[in-house]
Amino acid sequence: MEPQATRAPRFAFTRRIKLPDSTPTTPKRGAVQFFPWTIDSAQEIFNGKWRGSDRWLEMVAEFSDALAVARGSRLVVVGTDMMPLCFSFATDPPSDEKPQVAWALRSARPFDPLVLVAHTRRIFIWNVNRQALVGCVRDHGGRITSVAVHPTSPNFFATTSSDFTTRIYNLDLQVLVNHANPNWPPWKGGSEASAAHGTDGSDAKGPEYGIGRCVQLLVGGRSGGHAWDVLSAAFHPRLPLLATCGADRCVKIWRTLPDRNETNLELIRADKPLFSARITTSRVLSVAWLPEDLLLIHTATTYTPVKTGLENQEDLFDEDEDEEPFESDSVIKAGSIDVFQWLGLKRFFPSSDFASSPVTRGVASDYQESTSYTLISTEPLSTDHLSTPKDEGFEEPISTISHPQPLGRLGHFLLVYPRSMGIVILDSAKLSPLTQDFINEDTLVEMTKRIRLDESPESDFPPPARVRVLPFSDQNMGSATELTACTLGPSGTVAILDDTGTVWLFVEQTIV
């Protein structure tokens, strides 16, 4: 089934920006994000409190095309009519891990935009106007994998980590330096166990100061949390919900705190989400909310071992330990873009006035392995980028699914293929729905077997239409060999960071 499209978008090169102090020794991987708010955003931000404010208009005019780029141990904020602003953050010990970057605001001072940079286990909070570091937080016991800012209350942000937890912070509150870990009998003192179980172990201690208090901790572990690295998170735009996903192939939906700013707010720990399910057989790299009860996820490429010389591939999993080692090969299954509907939302939030809803908590069938969802669409990604020899490895397609969606670009996401120099502007409204024949019970059983054992190209069940890759002109790309980060701006501008420390700006054009 081919996508229904009468117009083909193309990308015109407009500008390139060479980051200051980019050297061959600077780590190649980085993060980039446009200033996400427009004049119309004031109608949604902080319940419309600053709608029509002259100071809001001035801030948007100043930062409308501003770009925050984190690479190595350096943050750079650049724009068309502004001098580059640079900020260095040191990590101890030095690390080449990819940083994460996001824009945020405080409710009382929304005209001083903040940039959040998460590097290894620390979160640096930088005030752009003051050009000063106003917060440094270190709560996680493992590497921070993503940062998500609330779309309508941008003083709240969430971080996911390889310590199996997700933590939610409030920028209106000061950092709580003295952590109060719970007591687990029979021990009398505060627990110093792993951070995955909701405590701050000795490996999570470090210098903390300024703004950014952790107000809620979503615990990992067997009771209901993630059992492996948490890779991405996304706030619901209207309801107090947070969706998370991770390397354990699970998507989980959690109840978050109400919008409160009390200074005595205590840390709340949660270990049982409202929803948890393995939607796919691959790692879930990122997640985003679509209207109301629909979620979009980006899954990773998978390798399935296939035993050569077997008539029945099911014998692969019946290997006798005493037999000699067998030769095997791997079937490569490209990642996909999936859309599913959470069927339990109305059960937990029957009224549109969620503030009056009681504190909700699911039962075991919700937070262990829920079946309360329906897969709406599955679009396989292109496998062209898998031409790299397997022993050299390859990069997953870079996506902005977990980035905030500015007004006017809702439902549009950007994907970039690192080695093929290709761009995909994904319109979630045009994804091909699964047909009834494709999702009937017999087909689903057969499809599951093939996913596990044999992804034969002669399958009787053809996959949905492939997401189209649109190459852009690379005549000015210079010595760039790989793309490392991308972002989509409110006006449709695409920014791509390459491995040489250069940001390339393109404008999406529509050709009939």
Q: What is the pLDDT of residue 89?
A: 78
Q: Residue range 276-304: average pLDDT?
A: 90
Task: Say which residue the tokens 């905030």 belong to.
Answer: 404
Beta bridge partners of 406: none
pLDDT tens digits along 21-48: 766 667 778 899 999 999 989 888 998 8
CA angle, residues 239, 63, 27, in degrees to nearest 5 = 90
* Residue 130: band (very low, low, confident or very high) from pLDDT cuts 50, 70, 90: very high
Q: Are 228 and 221 in contact (CB under 8 A)?
A: no
Has residue 196 been placed in a domain?
yes
- Whether residue 472 is predicted with pLDDT greater than 80 in this model: the reply is no
Alpha-carbon span 9 to 484, nearest angstrom: 22
- Whether residue 388 is predicted with pLDDT greater than 50 in this model: the reply is no
Q: Do 187 and 323 fall within a single domain? A: no
Its pTM stands at: 0.83
Helix (H, G, I), strand (E, B) or coil at 354: helix
Alpha-carbon span 136 to 114, nearest angstrom: 13
Q: Do 295 and 313 fall within a single domain? A: no
**Residue predicted with more confidence, 170 or 510:** 170
Helix (H, G, I), strand (E, B) or coil at 446: helix
Q: Do 312 and 390 fall within a single domain? A: no
Number of domains in the chain: 2
Helix (H) or strand (E) holding 441, with range, is: helix 441-452
Examine the fold and report which residue of 398, 428, 451 is the final residue of a domain before the chain moves on: 398
pLDDT tens digits along 331-361: 777 888 999 999 999 888 887 665 545 556 7
Alpha-carbon span 124 to 144, nearest angstrom: 12
Beta bridge partners of 436: none
Chain centroid offset of residue 215 CA:
20
Has residue 105 been placed in a domain?
yes
Range(s) of the domain holding residue 312: 304-330
pLDDT tens digits along 354-385: 554 555 677 788 888 899 999 999 888 865 54
* Residue 283: band (very low, low, confident or very high) from pLDDT cuts 50, 70, 90: very high
The token pair at 137 is 């937080």
- Whether residue 170 is predicted with pLDDT greater than 80 in this model: the reply is yes
Has residue 509 been placed in a domain?
no
| Helical segments of 26-182, H only | 54-63
The CATH number of the domain holding residue 214 is 2.130.10
Q: What is the pLDDT of residue 355?
A: 55
Mean predicted lDDT score pLDDT of the chain: 77
The token pair at 162 is 């390889």
Q: Are 313 and 258 in contact (CB under 8 A)?
A: no
Q: Do 106 and 82 fall within a single domain? A: yes
pLDDT tens digits along 171-228: 999 887 666 666 656 666 666 655 655 555 544 555 678 899 999 999 988 788 999 9
Residue 348's alpha-carbon distances to 260, 279, 339, 365, 461, in angstroms, are 21, 20, 21, 14, 36
Q: Do 351 and 223 fall within a single domain? A: yes
Q: Do 388 and 310 fall within a single domain? A: no
- Whether residue 8 is predicted with pLDDT greater than 50 in this model: the reply is no
Examine the fold and report which residue of 371, 398, 425 is the final residue of a domain before the chain moves on: 398
Q: Do 357 and 317 fall within a single domain? A: no
Q: Do 195 and 326 fall within a single domain? A: no
Of 334, 451, 338, 424, which is closest to residue 387 (Cα–Cα)?
334
Examine the fold and report which residue of 330, 347, 379 is the final residue of a domain before the chain moves on: 330
